[in-house]
Chain A
Amino acid sequence: MTSIVIVEDNEMNRDMLTRRLQRRGFEVTSAADGELGVRCVREVKPDVVVMDMSLPGIDGLEATRQLKADDATRHIPIIALTAHAMPEDRERALAAGCDDYDSKPVDINRLLEKIQQLTGTSENP
């Protein structure tokens, strides 16, 4: 089963995405801020991370930098997620080490394609 860590501070958005991915067979763990997200990824070692960029405390950019600087987690693909729609946000996310980028609202099929590309799976788990 493909495992995913979602890092998103907003409860409604976090639980919506968690539930939609769980219903498609993914094993989902979520974290409510950047610091907890880094800790969670280090513990769970998921197949992929979906990381909101705007987080309290350590933001998604810094959390990504920390995970990509760690030998134990640098290989885990990270998909940046943001409610911004600016091209520079995508560049900043990729520069921080994110492997891909998506914008809110989440288009579940588009996100699944990105997850499949990054994890090397051809279909849902």
Chain B
Amino acid sequence: MTALDRAELLEGIDHDLELLGWMVGVFQRDSADLLRQLDAAMGQSDVEAAKTATHTLKGMLLSIAARPAQEKALELEELLRGEKLQAALSVVEQLSDQVRQAAEMLASVAIEEGAPLSEEPSDSQGPASPNAGTVQ
């Protein structure tokens, strides 16, 4: 099984290549942050923080159709819910590898599709960036 389902990914973003190009950087940045948070939480046996990071990561993986990593995140969530920390530690390593593979494949798909790699997508039908209408 590949790290992500290319057809499902493209369908899930309406084949919007500008959005795809933007997602590459955001996914790399945020997934790395979440993996660091997860490592730190596991190191401190902070189950709640580990569950939060895993859940957020799972949501991102669902959005890029990265099924193997998504299934690993779900497995980790279940172990954390059961407070099986020792078993969870080995799954964290596997999840980290799969997330990295998903990030690499996301970048490869973007390049192969000719997506412009950028910080923010612009949108002729709306604001320059979706963030323009975001309350933060």
Contact = CB atoms under 8 A, between A and B. Distances in A.
B72 interface: no
Interface residues of A, number: 31
Q: Which of A11, A29, A56, A106 has the most CB of B within 10 A?
A: A11
Contact of B59 (A10, A28, A31): A10
A13 interface: yes
B65 A105 contact: yes
B63 A105 contact: yes
A25 B136 CA distance: 23
Residue picked from A32, A56, A104, most chain B C-beta under 10 Å? A104
B13 A20 contact: yes
A83 B62 contact: yes
Given A19-B123, A23-B125, A105 B133 contact: no
A28 B133 contact: yes
B134 A30 contact: yes
A106 B59 CA distance: 10
B125 A22 contact: yes
Contacts of B133: 18, 28-30
A105 B63 CA distance: 6
Contact of A32 (B14, B16, B135): B135
B56 A10 contact: yes
Contact of A14 (B19, B55, B134): B134
Given A16-B13, A28-B133, A54-B55, 8 more contacts: A11-B30, A11-B131, A20-B16, A23-B125, A29-B134, A31-B134, A31-B136, A83-B55
8 contacts: A12-B30, A19-B123, A23-B16, A28-B126, A28-B130, A28-B133, A54-B55, A83-B58
Interface of B: 12-14, 16, 19, 22-23, 26-27, 30, 52, 55-56, 58-60, 62-63, 65, 121, 123, 125-126, 129-131, 133-136
